[in-house]
């Protein structure tokens, strides 16, 4: 059951909460060697302690994915500690929702920096290594908002997730031999993401939507594991998963 997951070196960005944290737990139980990245390193260290106490292997690396140097250093740290990288899960993200008319330009900038540039920096950091080793797997977390435009409150967020889909599909077409690419597009999943909106009216609507729909974060962890555990010549290009109750 753990073939193709056990001993793989998996970097997960945004592992300090939500989907990334659940994915770390799930892959840790299945024997992956984990490199956990986020800004809140105290939370990463608590998770590393939990995973290692259960017999797994993990390290924490303080990383801001909007800084290319941090992402380069993250991959170097993974190689220094575990000797290689097999999978990068580009999961870190933010979702400060509001209508365009609110002109929250600083939030637009931050969303683009984290959700788009962070993914590109991750790809830049692993691609030469994956090309040299003739294997590797980039898993990018997009969203159902990367398939349908989440207007009126999520136009910029959707734009970043459409970009993640485009980057992932382009990477699939351009990828060096042996390199796999997967897009994970979830609907409403329990995490801290629903708490990111500074616009009060939007925040209340988002939280009501999540309360009515959300499914646990381990649903995404299992989808990521499914993509990783396939034989090396099988590439799960995309997984879209929603709560059964969710219409959007
Ligand atoms: P959370 O807010 O719970 O987790 C976001 C994670 O991203 C945290 O670990 C956070 O860590 C990290 N992060 C944010 N900014 C940065 C940064 N600059 N550098 C490094 N890490 C950062 O939300 P989710 O778990 O829901 O989000 C994970 C991904 O899933 C995101 O890409 C999101 O867009 C996507 N998604 C989520 C859905 C949902 O309904 N929950 C649905 C569809 C997609 P820290 O703050 O410690 O840096």
CB 216 within 8 A of CB 153: no
160 CB less than 6 Å from ligand 1?
no
Q: What DSSP letter does each residue of 82-150 carry, written as one string?
A: HS---EEEE---------GGG--HHHHHHHIIIIIIHHHHHHHHHHHHHHHHT-EEEEEE--GGGTS--
Residue 52 lies in a domain: yes
In a domain, 246, yes or no: no
**Residue 1 belongs to a domain:** no
Indicate which CATH number applies to the domain containing 179: 3.40.50.720
Question: How much distance in Å is there from the Cα of 189 to the middle of ligand 1?
Answer: 11
Cβ–ligand 1 distance for 65 under 6 Å, the answer yes
Residue 244 lies in a domain: no
- Position of tokens 């970097």? 11
Q: How far apart are CA 210 and CA 4, in angstroms?
A: 34
pTM reported for the whole predicted model: 0.98
Q: Note the pLDDT of residue 1.
A: 59
| The pair of three-digit structure tokens given for residue 64, joined into one six-digit string | 């801001």
Protein residue whose Cα sits closest to atom 25 of ligand 1: 18
Q: Does a structural domain hold residue 248?
A: no
- Structure-block tokens of residue 118: 């962070």
Domain count, the chain: 1
**Residue 25, in any domain of the structure:** yes
Residue 2 lies in a domain: no
Q: Which domain holds residue 122?
A: 9-233
Residue nearest to atom 33 of ligand 1 (CA): 93
State whether the beta carbon of 191 lies less than 6 angstroms from ligand 1.
yes
240, part of any domain: no
Instruction: Give the pLDDT score at 3.
Output: 81
At 91 the pLDDT is: 98
Cβ–ligand 1 distance for 122 under 6 Å, the answer no
Half-sphere exposure of 104 (CA within 13 A, CB side): 23
Nearest atom in ligand 1 to the alpha carbon of residue 192 is 3
**pLDDT for the residue numbered 2:** 76
Task: Kindly list the averaged pLDDT for each block of 10 residues, start to end, along the chain of length 248.
Answer: 90 98 98 98 98 98 98 98 98 97 98 98 98 98 98 97 98 97 98 94 95 97 98 98 96
Q: Which residues are catalytic?
A: 157
**Of the residues 191, 212, 242, which should be mutated to test ligand 1's pocket, given the most ligand atoms within 8 Å of the CB?**
191
């Amino acid at each position: 059951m753990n073939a193709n997951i056990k001993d793989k070196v998996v970097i997960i960005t945004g592992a300090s909460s939500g989907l990334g944290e659940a994915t770390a737990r799930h892959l840790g139980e299945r024997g992956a060697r984990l490199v956990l990245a986020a800004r809140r390193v105290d939370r990463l260290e608590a998770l590393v302690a939990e995973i290692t106490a259960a017999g797994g292997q993990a390290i924490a690396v303080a990383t801001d994915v909007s800084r290319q140097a941090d992402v380069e250093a993250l991959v170097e740290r993974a190689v220094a500690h575990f000797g290689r990288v097999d999978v990068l899960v580009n999961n870190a993200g933010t979702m400060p929702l509001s209508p365009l008319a609110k002109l929250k330009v600083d939030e637009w900038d931050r969303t683009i920096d984290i959700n788009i540039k962070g993914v590109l920096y991750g790809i830049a950091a692993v691609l030469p290594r994956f090309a040299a080793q003739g294997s590797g797997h980039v898993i990018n977390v997009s969203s159902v908002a990367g398939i349908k435009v989440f207007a009126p409150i999520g136009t910029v967020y959707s734009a970043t997730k459409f970009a993640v889909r485009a980057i992932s599909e382009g990477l699939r077409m351009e990828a060096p031999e042996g390199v796999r690419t997967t897009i994970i597009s979830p609907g409403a999943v329990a995490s801290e993401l629903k708490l990111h909106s500074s616009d009060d009216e939007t925040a209340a609507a988002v939280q009501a939507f999540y309360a009515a729909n959300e499914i646990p974060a381990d649903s995404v962890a299992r989808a990521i594991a499914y993509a990783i555990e396939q034989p090396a010549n099988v590439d799960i290009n995309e997984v879209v998963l929603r709560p059964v109750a969710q219409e959007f």
